Amino acid sequence: MLALYGTAAELRGFDLNQAPHVARVRSGATGPENIADTVLLRSTKEIEPAVNAGFTAAILLSDGEASELSGLNAFSRLMVLPKRFDYLAEGDILGVQPKTRKFRTLYRRASKHNSFLVTERCNHYCLMCSQPPRDIDDRWILDEIRASIPLMDRETRSFAFTGGEPLLDWQDFISILKDCRDLLPNTSVHVLTNGRAFARSEIVSKWTGVHHPNLSVGIPLYSSVDHIHDYVVQARGAFDETVLGILKLKDQRQRVEIRVVLHAATAPRIRETCQWLARNLPFVDHVALMGLENTGFALANQDVLWIDPVDYADGLAEGVDILAAAKVHVSVYNLQRCLLKKSVWPYAVQSISDWKNGYVEQCDVCIEKPRCSGFFTSGRPRQSRGISSILST
Amino acid sequence: MARFQATDAFHVRETPSELLPFRFARHGSDNFLVSNMVGDFVSLTGDELVRLVDLRLAPGDGLYEKAYQNHLISRQGQKAQQQILAMRLRSRMAFLRQPSQLHIFVVSLRCEHSCPYCQVSRQSTDKSRYDMSESTANQALKIALESPSSRIKIEFQGGEPLLNFPLIEKIVHVAKSEGARIGKKIDFVITSNLALLDENILAFCKAHDVLLSTSLDGPAVLHNKNRPRPGGNSHELAVKGIRRAQEVLGKERVGALMTTTEASLNQVEEIIDEYVTLELDGIFLRPLSPYGFAVKTKQFHRYDANEWLEFYERGLRYILDLNHNGLQFFEFYASLVLKRMLSDKPIGYVDLRSPAGIGLGALVYNYDGKVFASDEGRMLAEMGDNTFELGHVGDATYRSLVLSEKLIDLISSSLTQCAPECSDCVFESHCGADPVYHHATQNDAVGLKPFSEFCARQKGVMGLLVRLLQESPRDAAILRQWGGM
């Protein structure tokens, strides 16, 4: 699994009081095109050609005291990063905080699953949150994103904005969507939000007014009953606002995906939830039914969240059938094929992220392995008693 | 992690629940079928129903959850529950935005068949008397093109419309060029017994995208008994016509309709097999209507609603079995009702909507230029009852017909949303006002529904479908597919 954040061993030439700095990784094959372009040095041999190419900023991958190397003085800005970041490549983008020497990989050009965390703040406190919220002033992140957008490859197929709740500072966030529209017109953008902001018509109209050619929003809805959804997200009144938000977005023909995470508070009613979606919101663009990732708050709340997927497989199959018959586009994520009724297989998606697709012993001889989602490799996966090899279909 | 709150912290018992509008009917010994404002069904026990009405329910007790997710209740201060109902009702009624989509041209009342259940046709060679004239056709077309829908359908009816095929050709040509000029899309369909179908006619249909709709009552013996013609070969000609039309026009461009007579009642399987053999994609199991010769020849009262429902249920179960065995085959009436039960698509099927489809859904231009609010309305006129005659093409406009006091009275007096027995019927959302039927049988556009066979058949079919959806998962999976088509 990739390390996406760390601390630089050394930073040189940065203004310590400066706001977060954004650097674009360059291989050195061609010269810099932007003030943010920073050459990645994998060995000392690469120093001279990089200087000759005109680079004034560099990243050195080293686990030792490499910065004493004399040739490095030619760079006005230097970052020394641990060698485990050697996956960095041409076009990737890093965010650096000079004061703390902390840095994060914000964007990997080769990845299909880039996402920008917009804030750690949230007005929900979901039982299974994989990104537990923190009540801190992190509005600087928006500046970092604003600086990153112009540096991204214009050929990027898609990326996501996540949180926290990205729409807490909705005016700033929507202005970033305008940058995406102007600078990355061919890139589809997916925003994960709890949707409550859209209960306000004003926000929906600003959102719609961006006229982004390829913008969609993913909104979790955990139940067809108010208090169950409110319990899962630990916020009273959430269900009403979220549903209103979805209605208002669709009324303006915005693209909306509904996400349902399956755990003990949601899965026993999944058939009813799917039926409710099919009857009341059949116009949504996608329904994603997702197995639980056992990480973040889900670990702390295992006692109330754990349910063996084999125990809701029947309800899930019926729910998927109801949605499919109503011509709703439905997909199932994160659940292994051996735990799903066969009727669900055509809807089971292999993977959505880089950090999934682990396999266990039973998978070795399973003929469905090439089509299976596999397991999360993050968190502390819990294994269903139903995990078994499929030997014939 | 003590910051997580338990489930009951979100029950918010101090916020009262509120009832939303719903309807109910007894359904089994201690069960009630309850439907919300847009016709979603849920079963409740008698005790649950009473507790619901008294609002003796609370989060976590199971009944609250059932009532909430079915939009039977909301909570004070919430908006989403009502907003969903409003949006769905708006969608369900949106057929009103495309008024008068169907325009029926009776191009000839003559027919070479002499079916005892027929509603109107004449055996005559007197063309001048029973054929529509070109000038009448042009006046009718002018009215049809005035209707505000962006897409209309022109259906050629009879009698046997192919007896006046030259007029059909003329109407299609003029309609197409006029439609193109004013930006209206026009579909064409000829309703014919196909006995007179020839290669010329087929080539015309192919060139102009004209659909064919025919009658097929079942196997040869039954069909020929129901549909006599000189030579006794109606079935042979219909089958030959269907096959040839399928070849030339394509399978989806020709359809067939059956009418149930007393002789049909014990052979629904054979009737369906006939459709399967002809590779038709489904069948519409239709009862006889109380109009025209069907009344005069006393065909209509040969069986009652219960006998028909038995026939229907046997047929539906047989069709479901065909589907279980891998053949995709529809019962079109069930499909129609299921679309209304399982989706909010605006289904403006003229016989199954409220406000009624008379005039607002269809206009009928008779051979002699009289305009009727429905096909059945002109059949009543043949029996001397002019209730549904709206005017004459010679001096009418679309507006004068549709906004006539007569039509407005008939429609507004028959709304199921407020008619006795309908307004509180558990099936109201999926049913329709049928003022012509009730006028014909009870001399009253509303009618006393307990004496209405229309009502009995509707309740029977819908009750059957709800039962299958709720109690038979295997059938429900097929029925949901039909509803989603």
Residue A35: how many other CB atoms lie within 10 Å: 11
Instruction: Quote the minimal CA–CA distance from A343 to chain B in Å.
Output: 12
Identify the residue among A232, A279, A318, A328 best suited for mutation to test binding to B, counting B beta carbons within 10 A and taking the highest.
A279
Residue A65: how many other CB atoms lie within 10 Å: 10
For each of chain A's 393 residues, which pLDDT tens digit applies?
678 889 999 899 888 877 789 999 999 888 999 999 999 998 888 899 999 999 999 999 888 765 566 778 889 999 999 999 999 999 999 999 998 999 999 999 999 999 999 999 999 999 999 999 999 999 999 999 999 999 999 999 999 999 999 999 999 999 999 999 999 999 999 999 999 999 999 999 999 999 999 999 999 999 999 999 999 999 999 999 999 999 999 999 999 999 999 999 999 999 999 999 999 999 999 999 999 998 999 999 999 999 999 999 999 999 999 999 999 999 999 999 999 999 999 999 986 565 667 889 999 999 999 899 888 887 787 889 999 999 987
CA nearest to A229 within chain B: B10
Strand partners for B213: B191, B255
Residues 6 or more apart whose CB falls under 8 angstroms from that of B431 comprise B352, B354, B416, B422, B425, B458, B462
Instruction: Quote the minimal CA–CA distance from B227 to chain A in Å.
Output: 39
Phi-psi region of B210 (alpha: psi -120 to 50; beta: other; left: phi over 0): beta
State the complex-level ipTM. 0.92
* CB contacts, 8 Å: A282 with chain B: 343-344
* Contact flag A227-B11 (C-beta cutoff 8 Å): yes
CA distances from B374 to A117, B211, B284, B403, B440 (A): 62, 21, 20, 15, 13
* CB contacts, 8 Å: B342 with chain A: 278-279, 325-326
CA nearest to A320 within chain B: B477
- Residues 294..323 of A with a Cβ closer than 8 Å to B: which? 297, 300-301, 318, 321-322
Identify the residue among A122, A234, A280 best suited for mutation to test binding to B, counting B beta carbons within 10 A and taking the highest.
A280
* Contact flag B80-A239 (C-beta cutoff 8 Å): yes
Q: What is the pTM of this model?
A: 0.92
Question: pLDDT tens-digit profile of A99-157?
Answer: 899 999 999 999 999 999 999 999 999 999 999 999 999 999 999 999 999 999 999 99
- Number of Cβ pairs closer than 8 Å across A and B? 82
* Contact flag B79-A322 (C-beta cutoff 8 Å): no
Nearest to A20 by CA among A125, A131, A106: A106
* Contact flag A226-B75 (C-beta cutoff 8 Å): yes
Question: pLDDT tens-digit profile of B433-456?
Answer: 999 999 988 999 999 999 999 999
Those residues of chain B that have pLDDT short of 50 are 1-2
Q: How many residues does chain B have?
A: 485
CA nearest to A322 within chain B: B480
A230 close contact with B: CB closer than 8 A: yes
Identify the residue among B69, B73, B481 best suited for mutation to test binding to A, counting A beta carbons within 10 A and taking the highest.
B69
CA nearest to A269 within chain B: B65
Return the SS3 of A141: helix
Cβ B124 vs Cβ B110: under 8 Å: yes
A224 close contact with B: CB closer than 8 A: yes
